[in-house]
Amino acid sequence: MDYNDLNKKAIDIIQQSGEFVERRNNKNIFEEKGKDNFLSYLDLEIQEYLAKSLKNIFPLANIVSEEYDANPDIDDGHYWIIDPIDGTTNLIHNYPHYCTSITLINNYEPIIGITYNPITKDLFRAQKGKGAFLNDKRINVSKNDILQKSILGFGFPYDKTKILPIVDLLKKAIFKSQDLRRTGSAALDLAYVACGRIDGFFELDLEIWDFAAGSLLISEAGGNISDWKNLRLNFKDKSNIIATNNLIHKELLELINSTNI
């Protein structure tokens, strides 16, 4: 399997998908999937383009995508994991912080991971064993080893019954860190950990398509990503995610687990 060639072709495909964003208009671009959860027609358009294009370059790989599979059934073998737009609410409100993300996994291991912000043109990419890059520049996680001096990203779960315990955690985290950031795009937050823009990130109940690319970016950039029990991610189901520069991983994990969630 020529993963180098697949990686190059996947990069071209995800950059082409950005053209869908550039030429969209603001009329009737979304519908409500449920309270506080929206599906833009742009999501569907990009998803169809990505699924077709990725199938063309690697027909034997299955497709898993946010809008295809509410409960994906991932087994051994190759899978393309697609998130056409991560940060749909930001898109709807013309807040330019959202991205497209694709990952190739084989036997539950990420091989290629790409996250692309079509507005800023930030292209985060990684290939297993070959490092992580932002556009053409190699990236690494931050070197900050003190939680009190760290900037942490976080997200809220869709399940509103779980919000209050997260708020309790945030009350602790704001005093144990330098500052907190909630951007509305977990995939970009994970990419930001990989390039050192933030030192850590945590979120409850993240889906596979939210963290797949970011997990490879972070590991290739020298960081650490795990679940809240400090176990490796299984790429079969949603997970509670903690991602750091590795230097603050233990301390942040202890903080998270000090709250009854």
Binding residues for Mg(2+): 66, 83, 85-86, 210
Q: List, as residue ranges, the binding site.
A: 66, 83, 85-86, 210
d(CA 167, CA 162): 9
DSSP 24-56: --SSS-EEEEETTEEEEHHHHHHHHHHHHHHHH
Q: Which helix (H) or strand (E) holds 122?
A: strand 122-127
DSSP assignment, residue 248?
T
Question: Considering only CA atoms, which of 133, 101, 94 is closest in space to residue 117?
Answer: 101
What is the per-residue DSSP string for 142-210? -----GGG-EEEE---S-GGGHHHHHHHHHHHHHHSSEEE--S-HHHHHHHHHHTSSSEEEEEEE-HHH
| 148, 185, 241 from 176: Cα distances, Å | 5, 23, 19
CA distance 148 to 178: 5
